Amino acid sequence: MSEIDQLAKRLQPHYSHFDVANRLLFTGHSHQAWPDVAREGQVEYFDICAREVDRKWDIAMEKTEVLRNYLREYYDDPDGFYCREESTHFLMVSLMSSFDLKNKPKIITTDGEFHSMHRQLKRLEEDGLEVARVPVNPDENFATRIIEEIDIRTSAIMLSRVYFETSLINSHLSEIAAAARVQGIPVIIDDYHGTNVVPLSLREADLEDCFILIGGYKYLQWGEANCFLRFPKDCEYRPAITGWFASFSTLEHPRTDAPVNYDHSDQRFASATYDPSSQFRAAKVVDFFNDQGLTPDILRAQYEAQVGILRSLFLQQDFDPNKIKLTHNEALSRNGGFLSLTSPKAREIKADLMQRNIYTDARNEILRLGPAPYTTTSQIEEMMGELKVSVEKIL
């Protein structure tokens, strides 16, 4: 039995509610199955609410700290702050509201960013924000092109570590951060497709002064409403979009004409009252990952091997490249956690597969096949056979 299957078959019994052993679930890059213990977390939250009523918040915050500690360990980042919110979008907006956009109205980004960042920047552009969108291709001079955009009008650089359409890893972040540091410009890294897939030591990469957007919906298996903004401990930004959870230490103080206070804590970019049930669910998943020994290196090896098999089987089909092809031919070491395919009928292929209860994902002309740690080689082989059926039917 291959190492892929040894791990996958060991994990599958723990995902009985999602029935991962008997379904072709290839949206691992978008929505992974939750282990059965996640349900226990949801029930635990109800029971604690019933028993503790308003005292539940202390326990809820302990659960959030479990998630923070997992991320600190993953990123080799013991001193970083991690602000929890329900979406990376809110965290991005809160962070942007800290910038002096009136005097520095320029944001440097790329043409490969996810919808939430792209949409928000495009809307702000309508109201006067200057957005420099640097093409991600060609990769060989990408860092140079980003750095050349830096000027005295620049408030921030915002870009991904793993691109959501191509699955390619951005290997230039340290070089970009070094250049931005000289100019005192913050770098915001969208790592939704990097966390739990491509290991990263912030200390070794010299990225400790960077801001990182992290989401639990995909590879972390935490589900919705478990998003974090990682920011450096010496950060003193004062976001204009702010909620009362950002200053617990002053809640009992008399109101004065003094400037709005921000606690020097993980909560600096926080909003307000939220539903903490998701943290109870996610904390159970953290314990499960630890119990199963799912270390960053093991997860990386599993994804790289699975994507490698997907790609090899795809090439064996010898598809007409005018119908469907690999989005890129870069080495597996430069690929994230899913296989990206390009087809003029990507959405139709996805819909045809869904009619047979096969879960994939399409974005415009990109078809994405995302395995998960519990995906076996036989499921990957079956997936590729079903893809051939759909391609031949539609194209």
Neighbours of 30 (CB within 10 A): 18
Q: Residue range 333-340: average pLDDT? A: 98
Write down the mean pLDDT value for the chain. 97
| CB within 8 Å of 215: residues ≥ 6 apart | 88, 192, 195, 226, 227, 228
Query: What pLDDT was estimated at residue 1?
Result: 83
Q: How confident is the model at residue 248 (pLDDT cuts 50, 70, 90)?
A: confident
The CA–CA distances, whole Å, from 380 to 29, 283, 313, 347, 387 equal 15, 30, 9, 20, 11
Percent of the chain as helix, strand, coil, to the nearest 5: 45, 15, 40
pTM: 0.96
Mean pLDDT of 15-28: 98
The predicted pLDDT at position 388 comes to: 97
Phi-psi region of 346 (alpha: psi -120 to 50; beta: other; left: phi over 0): alpha
The string of pLDDT tens digits covering residues 200-222 is 999 999 999 999 999 999 999 99
Percent of the chain with pLDDT over 90: 95
Peptide bond into 138 cis (omega under 30): yes
Q: pLDDT value at position 249?
A: 82
**Residue 344 CB coordination number (10 Å):** 14
d(CA 342, CA 331): 17
For residue 251, pLDDT over 80 is answered with no
- Taking residues 263-283, report their average pLDDT: 96
Cβ–Cβ < 8 Å for 245, 28: no
The structure tokens listed for 244 are 């009362």
Alpha carbon 4 to its chain's center: 23
- β-pairing, 24-25 vs 358-359, is parallel
Instruction: Give the number of other Cβ atoms within 10 Å of residue 154's Cβ.
Output: 21
In the predicted structure, residue 67 carries a pLDDT above the cut 90: yes
Which pLDDT belongs to residue 254?
A: 86
CA distances from residue 258 to 83, 138, 241, 261, 316 in whole angstroms, order as listed: 24, 50, 18, 8, 68
- What integer pLDDT is reported at residue 252 of this predicted model? 80
